[in-house]
Amino acid sequence: MPRRAALRRALYGASWILVTACAAEASAGELDLSGYINLESRGYPQSAAYADQPGNIGGIVLEPELYFQSDAGWSFTLTPFLRYDSADSNRSHTDIREACFLVYGDAGDGEWELRLGVDRVFWGVAESNHLVDIINQTDLVDHPNEEVKLGQLMAHATWAGEWGAAELFVLPHQRKRTFPGRGDRLRSSILIDQDHPSWESSAEQWNTDLAARYSRSFGIFDVGVSLFDGTSREPVFQPRLDPRDGSLSLTPHYGQIRQWGLDAQATSEAWLWKLEAIYRTGARNLLGQKEDYAGFVAGGEYTLYSFSGSNTDLGLLGEWNYDQRGERATNTYQDDLFFGTRLAFNDVQDTAVTAGVLKDMNHSSGALVVEFNRRISDQWSTSAEIFALFDVDEKDARFYPVRRDSFIEWILTYNF
């Protein structure tokens, strides 16, 4: 722990030096503002399973990006995020997705980069589940697909050359996962109390986490190996009785884990073969017991170019998600098959349709997702999504609480 505290102090010191140096030179450079505004509407065809849940919600999302490139060779990116929801104050929130300085230079036959501040990092190649992706915390109130991430404070150093790319991360602060509140759909049957989390580390959310990744291309293969040591982004839940009224809730507990990860992709003509695999130690299972485990998602994608003589490309996808813990797993993907298709019309509007089905092999439960995207003009675009649960098993602890929360969503986007 003293070593990690020293790393955290060094990160803060380096950040202060960099900010001071950059501010002194900020008078010369280029400034660019871009981003998007979403108008969103979501409807739930079925009546709610719990009281106070709405049948329709609307909202607005604003995510501008301010980018400054100095003449001295450094840059700064600021990306705030704002969501306003008409029905649930818990879903209305703000975040800093990025507030990051970037400096870079040559290192022998290669290049180096250093990013300091709040940033977003993505690892993985799979379609249905990004198993190895662990740096950023999930923004679960934004979307149930677990793909939207909160900003993460970090120092991120990269050294890259013909031999590949080596990355090192120092993460001095861990974000709490966001969860739907009482008045939101897609919540658990027992409310999650986000105000009373607990941590295994005595430093709580200020534990310094460390991560590293090496990636390289070998002919048709793109391979990445990674290591993470620190606070789990995936909490387990502990029961809590409110001393005021005796009501039962669940409080998130964030343990200390170590995760080894592998992501690999092979490209062979029209085929894409994909694999993500992890081995995690120190994690707790659904029963609250510590259990080391392995998991993977493996599959492929085959693309039929110019399908039936048209300009449309048709992609066929299939993946298997597996978690060694089985019913003791803390996620949805303990033993699930995913099948999907992707239509890219290759027109001037960039029209695309993606559809996929996730089927639980241990229960009858399944989920269908259909996504539509189309550009209206240079600045306007629209998208729609159907999320439908079917044959939900009463014994399925993950899908049964949200069995009546299938939805249809429409989004109008203005890009600037």
pLDDT digits (tens, 9 = 90+) for 390-410: 999 998 888 999 999 999 999
Would you state the pLDDT for residue 27?
Answer: 54
CA distance 153 to 120: 9
- Using a 10 angstrom Cβ sphere, with 0-12 exposed, 13-18 middle and 19 or more buried, the burial of residue 109 is exposed
**What are the helix and strand counts (H, E) for the chain?**
1, 21
Write the CB contacts of 10 (distance below 8 Å, at least 6 apart in sequence). none
With a cut of 60, say whether residue 120 has pLDDT above it. yes
Q: Is 45 left (phi over 0), alpha (psi -120 to 50) or beta?
A: alpha
Q: Which amino acid is at 218?
A: F
For the chain, what is the mean pLDDT? 92
Higher pLDDT, 415 or 88: 415
Q: Which residues pair with 120 in a beta bridge?
A: none
C-alpha count within 13 angstroms, C-beta hemisphere, residue 407: 23
pLDDT confidence of 31, banded at 50, 70, 90?
very high
* Neighbour-count burial of 51, counting CB atoms closer than 10 A to its CB (0-12 exposed, 13-18 middle, 19+ buried): exposed
Which is more confidently placed, 331 or 63?
Answer: 63
Token pair, residue 190, equals 């027992």
Which tokens sit at 53? 């849940």
The total number of residues shown for the chain amounts to 416
For residue 346, name the pLDDT band (cuts at 50, 70, 90).
very high
Residue 10 has pLDDT above 90, yes or no: no
* Residue 245 or 159, more confident: 159
Q: In 10 A of CB 307, how many CB atoms?
A: 14
Integer Cα distance of 251 and 235 in angstroms = 9
Give pLDDT tens digits for 193-241: 988 999 999 999 999 999 999 999 999 999 999 999 999 999 999 999 8
The mean per-residue pLDDT over the stretch 176-193 comes to: 90
The predicted structure's pLDDT at residue 67 = 97
pLDDT of residue 23: 52
Give pLDDT, residue 12.
Answer: 47
Which residue has tokens 């934004």? 142
Report phi then psi at 58, rounded to 5: -140, 165
**Residues 306, 267, 121, 356: is their CA dihedral positive or negative?**
positive
Nearest to 150, CA basis, from 124, 113, 176: 176
Amino acid at 400: Y
Q: Closest Cα to residue 190, out of 285, 333, 50?
A: 50
| Confidence bin at 29 (pLDDT 50/70/90) | confident
pLDDT at residue 247, rounded to an integer: 85
64-68, 146-150, 238-242: the lowest-pLDDT one = 238-242
Q: Burial letters for 128-157: b for 16+ Cβ neighbours within 10 Å, e otherwise? A: bbbbbbbbbbbbbbbebebebbbbbbbbbb
Q: What is the pLDDT of residues 315-331, one digit of tens each?
A: 999 999 999 999 999 99
Give the span between the Cα atoms of 283 and 292, in whole angstroms: 6
Report whether pLDDT(16) > 90.
no
Task: Determine contact, residues 388/406, Cβ cutoff 8 Å.
Answer: yes
Mean pLDDT, residues 5-16 taken together: 51
Query: Pseudo-torsion of CA 156, 160, 166, 169, nearest 10°?
Result: 0
Residue 357 has pLDDT above 80, yes or no: yes
**Residue 274: strand pairing partners:** 265, 299
Residue type for 74, please?
A: W
- The DSSP bridge pattern shows strands 236-241 and 221-231 to be unpaired
How far is Cα 370 from Cα 367, in angstroms, rounded to an integer?
Answer: 10
State whether the Cα torsion 138-141-145-151 is positive or negative: negative
Distances (CA, A) of 10 to 207, 225, 227, 261, 298: 14, 26, 21, 27, 40
How do beta strands 335-344 and 236-241 pair? unpaired
Q: What is the mean pLDDT of residues 171-193?
A: 92
Average pLDDT over residues 159-173: 97
